[in-house]
Structure 1
Amino acid sequence: MRGRITDDSATPRAGRRDYWGVVLDAPDAAMLARFYTELLGWQVHQEEPDFVSIAAPDGVAYLAVQTAAGYQRPTWPTTSGSPQMMMHLDFEVSDLGAAVAHAVELGATVADHQPQQRVRVLLDPAGHPFCLYLGG
């Protein structure tokens, strides 16, 4: 991408400037960020009243959540006249049952519609669909 710094592999993670991420809208940024922090085992990277970013302990990817006034939960699967899912997160797991149970324990719900055998669609506490899937 033009204008983007390229990693030279010698710069320590904290000094890198090639981070990239995804930002989700939510009715409460802190609440949803806590959910993903606990689900993924990531750490809070930046926290402001209406914006929280979390990051993996390695790499340069982050997930951020921003409070959005008037937020409406997306529907899964998409139905006419309802807010539709614009994107979703995928997480590869080695034990689908354990990963689903952990997500539910943290506040996720299993979606009624499950389109694939090796994938489970869940809804985070703000209603965003995300997938846990078996790799390989």
Structure 2
Amino acid sequence: MRQAAGMKSRTDGMWWGTAIEAPNPGGLARFYAELLGWHIEHEEATNVVVAASPQGPFFVFQQAEGYRAPVWPPVDGEQRPMMHFDFQVGDLDSAVAEAVALGATPAEDQPQENVRVLLDPAGHPFCLCLDEG
């Protein structure tokens, strides 16, 4: 089977990223920039880009009219989480404390001992995963 060489229409210097809908893209971008130690790469009123480096990876926070936060754990008939971030950490308790100080909320349902599910300021779930290796 032939290996894909990448998207032919993409050239060097073009960014790749994940787009996240939010009621307040600037506020959510600042939350993740602080949480990850990344920086704001570009900011407009309805679109804010957070980057690990000039080459990426990138998170793009986009204004969402009529935004409904996902419900964790999923509930029939409610907005389901469509994706979530996993971040590996060396100390689970201090990582949770840092995220909460920035505006995250621990989820009520915690299904694993070595993982903490938190909700970002817009209600998206994300996981802090203990590096046990």
Q: Does 1:2 align with 2:7?
A: yes
Q: Distance in 1 between matches of 2:14 and 2:127?
A: 26
Q: Number of aligned pairs?
A: 127
| Alignment TM-score, normalising by the size of structure 1 | 0.87
Aligned ranges 1:87-106 → 2 under 5 Å: 87-106=83-102
What's the offset of the Cα at 1:134?
1.2
Q: Distance in 1 between matches of 2:119 and 2:50?
A: 19
Q: CA RMSD in A?
A: 1.6
**Paired position in structure 1 for 2:21:** 25
| Alignment TM-score, normalising by the size of structure 2 | 0.89
Residues 8-52 of structure 1: per-residue CA shift (max 9 Å, x gap): xxxxxxxx4253211110101111111111111110011111000
5+ residue gaps, structure 2: 1-5
Does the residue aligned with 1:91 lie in a helix, a strand or coil? strand
Does the residue aligned with 1:76 lie in a helix, a strand or coil? coil
5+ residue gaps, structure 1: 7-15
Q: Is the 8 A contact 2:13 2:55 kept in 1?
A: no
Structure 1 residues 95 and 49: alpha-carbon distance in aligned structure 2, compared to 1, 3 A threshold: same
